[in-house]
Each structure stands twice: as C-alpha cells, then as structure tokens.
Structure 1
Amino acid sequence: MGFLVRTLITAFAFWVAELLIEGISFTGPFNMFIAAIIFGLVNALVRPVVALLSLPLTVLTLGLFTLVVNALMFAITAGLMPGMRVSGFGAAFFGAIIVWLVSWAVNRLVVDRAAVR
C-alpha cells in the first residue's frame, strides 16, 4: 500500500512540475504514473552509484552537487520514459527540485495524518 501511495504522490509531483516548467511535458496522465514508477526505480538502482561516484564533488560543493545528481536522475527517467519529454538540463534541474518539494510536502501531510490516527 505504501508503494502505491508514494507512486501516486510522485505522479502528482510530476503533474505539478509539468504545470510549472515549460520544458517538461507528458503525453497523458497515465504516463505520469509510469514515469513515477521508473523514477523510483532509477532512484533506487542508479542514484546510489552516481552519488558514490560524485561524493568528492558533493563534499567540495558542501552538498550542492546533490541537486545536479537529482537533475540527472530526472533526465534519465525522461530518457527511459517514451511519454515524458524534458527539453534540457535547466528543465530537469528545476523539475527535480519541484518534484522533491511537492513530494516532501505531500509526504509530510500523509505521514502526519497517519500518525494522528
């Protein structure tokens, strides 16, 4: 159940990113759900390797290079997902930030409501 909720939250975050960033587009709402699954898989499988390899840059930039890693994961997702288009690095960068912010905020609301019960 938790996987489905987090996937729906990520799909919602993709929808918000599509609304706010001109360079991000999806061919349909169901593609956002599939992209959310692919994004989760990319973050689970590829991100740890890239984060480890980029650790010196992350330390050197006091953690700011993590934003570039997040943008790269966003771009990889767009490359793997035929129904998702990201026009460039800037769109991937700001799209990743928006997806992170929306996911964080909605997850906080969902977790806080579940904890109240």
Structure 2
Amino acid sequence: MNFLIRLLISAIAAMVTAYVLPGVKINSFGTALVLAIVLAILNLLVKPVLILLTLPVTIITLGLFLLVINAVIIMIASSLVSGFKVDGFIWALLFSLVLTVVTGIMNSLAGTNPND
C-alpha cells in the first residue's frame, strides 16, 4: 500500500515539476502516473547498471556524476512515455533535481518513508 501512495505522490510531484519548468511537458495525470511507473522501473533496473559502469567517474566527481545519470534516466523515460516531453539534457537535469525536492517534501507531508 505504501508503494501505491509513493507512486501517486511521484505522479503529483511530476505534474507540479512540469508546471514549474517550461522545458518539460506532461499531457495529463495519467501520463504522469505512467511516468512514475516507468521511472520506478528504470531506477530499479537501469540505474544500478549505469552507476556500476560509471563508478570511477562518480568517485572522482565525489558523486556529482549521479546527477548526470538521473538526467539520462529522465531522457530515457521521455523517449518511452508518450505525452512526456523534455526539451533537452539541461531540462532533464533540472527536472530531476526539482522532482527530487518536490517528492521529498510531499513524502514528508504524507508521512511516507521511501525506505519502507
């Protein structure tokens, strides 16, 4: 049940983030919900592989390269989800950062723990 609540929070946060950033478009809440599911799957399957492949660069940059990996995940999601459009890498990077902040705030307000 907690996973479904976090999924809904992620979808709402994606809608809010897309509203704030002019370089990101989400057509509907249904698209945002699909985006939240796709991002969860990509973060589960693709992100660990990318982290492993870029481990030396991540260590040298003291973890800042993880921001680039997050932006790449957003760009992949943009190509997979119709109705979700990101205008470029910088917008994907900004979307990733703002989405993380908004999701964190909404999770704390809802009382959900992402580690549960």
2:14: which partner in 1?
A: 14
Counterpart of 1:107 in structure 2 is 107
Q: CA deviation at 1:111?
A: 2.7
| Kept after mapping to 2: 8 A contact 1:16/1:98 | no
The residue aligned with 2:24 is 24
* Partner residue, 2:60: 60
Output the amino acid matched with 2:47. R
The percent identity for this pair of structures is 37
| RMSD of equivalent CA atoms | 1.5
Q: Does 1:77 align with 2:77?
A: yes
Residues 1:95 and 2:95 aligned together: yes
C-alpha separation in 1, matches of 2:64 and 2:92: 15
**What one-letter code is carried by the residue in structure 1 that aligns with 2:24?**
I
The SS at the match of 2:62 is coil
Question: In the alignment, residue 46 of structure 2 is paired with which amino acid?
Answer: V
- Name the TM-score, length of structure 1 as normaliser: 0.90
Structure 2, gaps ≥5 residues long: none
1:40 maps to 40
Instruction: Report what 1:115 is aligned to.
Output: none
Shift >4 Å, 4+ stretches: none
- Which residue is equivalent to 1:4? 4
Rounded to whole Å, the distance in 2 between the matches of 1:35 and 1:49 is 20
Whole-angstrom distance in 2 between the partners of 1:27 and 1:16? 12
TM-score between both structures, scaled by the size of structure 2:
0.91
**Count of residues in correspondence between the two structures:** 113
Once the two structures are TM-superposed, the CA of residue 109 in structure 1 deviates from its matched residue by: 2.4
